[in-house]
Amino acid sequence: MHSMKDAILVVDDQPANLKVLLSFLQTHNFQIYIADSGTRALHVLSKVIPDLVLLDVMMPDIDGFETCRRIKADQRLTGVPVIFMTALDSVEDKVAGFTAGGVDYITKPFQQVEVLARIKTHIMLRKREREIEQALAEIKTLTGILPICSYCKQIRNDKGYWQQVEEYIGQHSQALFSHGLCPDCYKKEMDSFLELTGQRKSKAQEAEGN
């Protein structure tokens, strides 16, 4: 069975750049989407969630920085890594890109080996991040004060209803339960059983015997 291809959205208003990147990335088994403006990129992203976005900075309608800000404002897309492609190389431009939400820069003209290395690195990091997010989502913890009945030991839940302690803990943690009897409860149960079966005198009978 073949694994699904990692998907990349390439955004550049220069057809020559799009053609080179499309050809190069397809040979490395990526699923490629293309857009020639920030507006069209956002339209594509309304339908698909790629594993990474390669985003040109200098574009005619909305520039790459603003496009990135709009991508990061979408809750569905906030975790998608954005790598800027630009001929700009000043510290101010790089800071602007990182502030907008980008994770990296690729400077034009492209070095294909560098492009591939950066893409693979950030896709791998995003996958590890998703694995951690999933693991954390599966972990439930109990904190704070739990109201518990001193007689029947039921716990009052967040909605004000009373639940058996194992039911409540099972809903708020990953704990599993193995039921048994502690020594004190075992003795009480055995005493009751012996009295019911006539194998042991009740306390009243013992008092009469004395």
For the cut 80, the answer to whether the pLDDT of residue 48 exceeds it is yes
**pLDDT tens per residue, range 74-123:** 999 999 999 999 887 778 888 999 999 999 999 888 888 999 999 999 99
Residue 203 forms part of a structural domain:
yes
And the tokens for 38? 């920030």
Residue 99 forms part of a structural domain:
yes
In this prediction, what percent of the chain has a pLDDT beyond 90? 41
Highest mean pLDDT among 35-49, 78-92, 128-142, 184-198: 35-49
**pLDDT tens per residue, range 138-156:** 656 666 666 777 667 677 7
Residue 148 forms part of a structural domain:
no
Q: Both 38 and 113 in a single domain?
A: yes
Residue 62 forms part of a structural domain:
yes
Domain range for 16? 7-138
Q: Both 171 and 131 in a single domain?
A: no
Residue 144 forms part of a structural domain:
no
Domain CATH for 70? 3.40.50.2300
Last residue of a domain, one of 103, 138, 173: 138
Q: Both 112 and 43 in a single domain?
A: yes
Q: Both 114 and 164 in a single domain?
A: no
CB burial of residue 62 (10 Å; 0-12, 13-18, 19+): middle
Q: Both 121 and 161 in a single domain?
A: no
Residues 152-168 have a mean pLDDT of 70
Last residue of a domain, one of 92, 109, 138: 138
Last residue of a domain, one of 112, 138, 164: 138
Residue 2 forms part of a structural domain:
no
Q: Both 63 and 89 in a single domain?
A: yes
Q: Both 75 and 103 in a single domain?
A: yes
Count of structural domains within the chain: 2
